[in-house]
Structure 1
Amino acid sequence: MDPNGQERRVVVGIDGSPASYEALRWAVRHARLIGAAVDAVAAHELPGAAGWSAPPVDTDFDGAQAEQALADEVQTVLLGADDVRLREHVARGNPAEVLTEAAAGAELLVVGSRGRGGFTGLLLGSVSQQCALHAPCPVVIVRTDTTERT
């Protein structure tokens, strides 16, 4: 608990990339040190939501798939890390916006340096860059292969 009686939270973005898995491991270790809960957050966007034409999508099915994918990823990455309270959240929308909104009131927002999309040669992905610029709390950007296993 923080001085105001609120539960301490660390928010971490998960997108299925190796960097997001490293971020999740880092967030859990940090939360363990400070006595915080971890909110694992995944965002999903509907095809065509950004202006491109796409076939019709069943939004309920798409959301259920995203929730199942997050649960599977968390279970795989954090096998045996039962000592930290972890909550899973899936929201529809732009990943950077979803993460910065989820980070309101958090101790820290943790993201991987590179996600699944875009240009693989870049050192910093667009979502992590936007989070660093707009998050309402400190941001940690974790690179792949820089953390210990949980």
Structure 2
Amino acid sequence: MRRATTKDIPQIVRMLADDPLGSTREVVSDPVDAGYLAAFQAIARDPNQYLAVAEVAGRVVGTLQLTFLPGLSHRGAWRAQIEAVRVDTPARGTGLGRQMIAWAQHEARQRGCRMVQLTSSASRKDAHRFYEGLGFEQSHAGFKLVL
């Protein structure tokens, strides 16, 4: 696992687009859409953001974003939010996803976080089984409002 660079953006976007939900909202283009570049720059400047890629034999095969969140609840505990977890299709089933989540948990502990949380679309039943198998518990109902 390493911090993503601008050179990784095309492969990250391809992985984000490689599922039924992502295929309807992501734009795989050359050159990379300016919105992705602006978002990457904002993430890279923010010390509480870590856009990570998993690299095997020089090839990016996984990604996730780790966000460190301060809060007053739980006596001022920091928490880490894991988002946009993707493993490239050929690398699925190899244990890479488990390794990526373990890495994220380690990073969260290193930053003093007292919990790790994530969200997953209600339609991603396989992902839910994966996270539950790693010890995550479904604890909240999520809501969103598209602006």
TM-score (normalizing by structure 2): 0.31
Q: Which has the higher contact order (CA 8 A, sep 6+)?
A: 1
TM-score (normalizing by structure 1): 0.31
